Amino acid sequence: MKKWGILIVALIMVTSVLAACGQNKNNAGGNAPATENQGAADNGGSNGGAGKKLILGLSADFPPYEFRDSKGEIVGFDVEIAKEIAKDLGAELEIKDMLFDSLLNELESGRIDLVISGLSPTPERAEQVDLSKIYYKAEQAVVTVTENKDKYATMESLEGVKIGVQKSSIQEDIAKEIAGAKLTSLGKISDIIMQLQTGRVDAAIIEGPVAESFVKNVDGITITDAKPVTEDEGYVVGVKKGNTELLDQVNTTLDRLIEDGSIDKFVTEASELAEQ
């Protein structure tokens, strides 16, 4: 009996060792959870081969940059730019829709590979993530209810009033510089428009093409003659700090799209779609 007992124990030990070896072999073959650097390399398109994925983070309430069409699909000219970047990388594009103020944290964490979402190149953002060259420039706008268009026709007229802005946006920074302004900072532009319609804010500072899109589609609001000014004009793509390979590819794609006129074409098509 003792010999059988010893033999059984020995067989169990051998089986366990073989099972462990088999699992280690599978993990070495790519089934182990990826580290942060491995994930960035795979998603960033630097490995080559099939199955690569490029994860884009955006806030899909910013027409014509990114928004949902009548079918609920995320569209816009930022999306078209992202598709071109993915194509040049030979990667599949995956889009994650989230609040604007969470995008850079998601990028830092490695849960997304790039941000294209009307992102302005502020010094603070440049410290947090790496930024591409500017691919598009647009002015800012002040929006209010139609009957107050003349009342808020200058930046001085906004002093001391209630102003709606998108949280963590360049428009929020502009509003903070207005003397006595009472800010309501929200995650979505559509919520800011609702605050405006219901009188909870007197005016809103919104990026120009986005403001135009909402004015064309929402009754009772208009763009005033006030002209917000910022040093951080233009929009860029954000990638994780140190991911120079992806940043170089992004800039290469942007150069091509700017040179051949594709970005202007994307803007026109997205603007027309947003008006439908």
- Convert the pLDDT of each residue in 82-134 to its tens digit: 999 999 999 999 999 999 999 999 999 999 999 999 999 999 999 999 999 99
In terms of pLDDT, which residue wins out, 40 or 151? 151
pLDDT-wise least confident of 11-20, 148-157, 216-225:
11-20
> Quick check: is 215 in a domain?
yes
Same domain for 205 and 144, yes or no, is yes
> Quick check: is 20 in a domain?
no
In terms of pLDDT, which residue wins out, 45 or 28? 45
Same domain for 219 and 146, yes or no, is yes
> Quick check: is 29 in a domain?
no
Find the mean pLDDT for residues 181-199. 96
The range of the structural domain enclosing residue 209 comes to 140-223
pLDDT of residue 187: 92
Secondary structure (DSSP) of the chain: -HHHHHHHHHHHHHHHHHHHHHHHHHIIIIISPPPHHHHHHHHTT-S-STT-EEEEEE-S-BTTTBEE-TTS-EESHHHHHHHHHHHHHT-EEEEEE--GGGHHHHHHHTSSSEEEEEE---HHHHHHSEE----B---EEEEEEGGGTTTT-SSGGGTTSEEEEETTSHHHHHHHTSTT-EEEEES-HHHHHHHHHTTS-SEEEEEHHHHHHHHHHSTTEEE-S-----S--SBEEEE-TT-HHHHHHHHHHHHHHHHTTHHHHHHHHHHHHHH-
> Quick check: is 81 in a domain?
yes
Find the mean pLDDT for residues 215-237. 91
Q: Looking at residue 57, which CATH number applies to its domain?
A: 3.40.190.10
pLDDT-wise least confident of 100-109, 164-173, 197-206, 226-235:
226-235
Residue 232 backbone dihedrals phi, psi, to 5 degrees: -95, 55
Confidence of residue 22 (pLDDT cuts 50, 70, 90): very low
Same domain for 208 and 238, yes or no, is no
- Provide the whole-model pTM: 0.71
pLDDT of residue 231: 75
Segment 53-82, tens digit of pLDDT: 999 999 999 999 999 999 999 999 999 999
Secondary structure (DSSP) of 149-199: TTTT-SSGGGTTSEEEEETTSHHHHHHHTSTT-EEEEES-HHHHHHHHHTT
Find the mean pLDDT for residues 176-196. 96
Find the mean pLDDT for residues 158-180. 96
User: How many independent structural domains does the chain possess?
Assistant: 2
Same domain for 48 and 122, yes or no, is yes
Same domain for 202 and 94, yes or no, is no
Assess contact for 89 and 249: CB atoms under 8 A: yes
Same domain for 198 and 245, yes or no, is no
Say whether pLDDT at 251 is over 50. Answer: yes
> Quick check: is 32 in a domain?
no
Same domain for 66 and 88, yes or no, is yes
The mean pLDDT of the chain is 84
Assess contact for 152 and 224: CB atoms under 8 A: yes
> Quick check: is 8 in a domain?
no
Same domain for 66 and 125, yes or no, is yes
Same domain for 130 and 261, yes or no, is yes
- Decide which of 201, 223, 245 is a domain's last residue: 223
In terms of pLDDT, which residue wins out, 19 or 177? 177
Assess contact for 43 and 54: CB atoms under 8 A: yes
Same domain for 150 and 270, yes or no, is no
Assess contact for 44 and 100: CB atoms under 8 A: no
Segment 123-147, tens digit of pLDDT: 999 999 999 999 999 889 999 999 9
Same domain for 41 and 117, yes or no, is yes
Q: Which residue has the tokens 């280690």?
A: 24
Confidence of residue 229 (pLDDT cuts 50, 70, 90): confident
> Quick check: is 209 in a domain?
yes
> Quick check: is 228 in a domain?
no
Same domain for 174 and 200, yes or no, is yes
Q: Which positions ≥6 away from 78 have C-beta within 8 Å?
A: 58, 62, 65, 66, 116, 117, 118
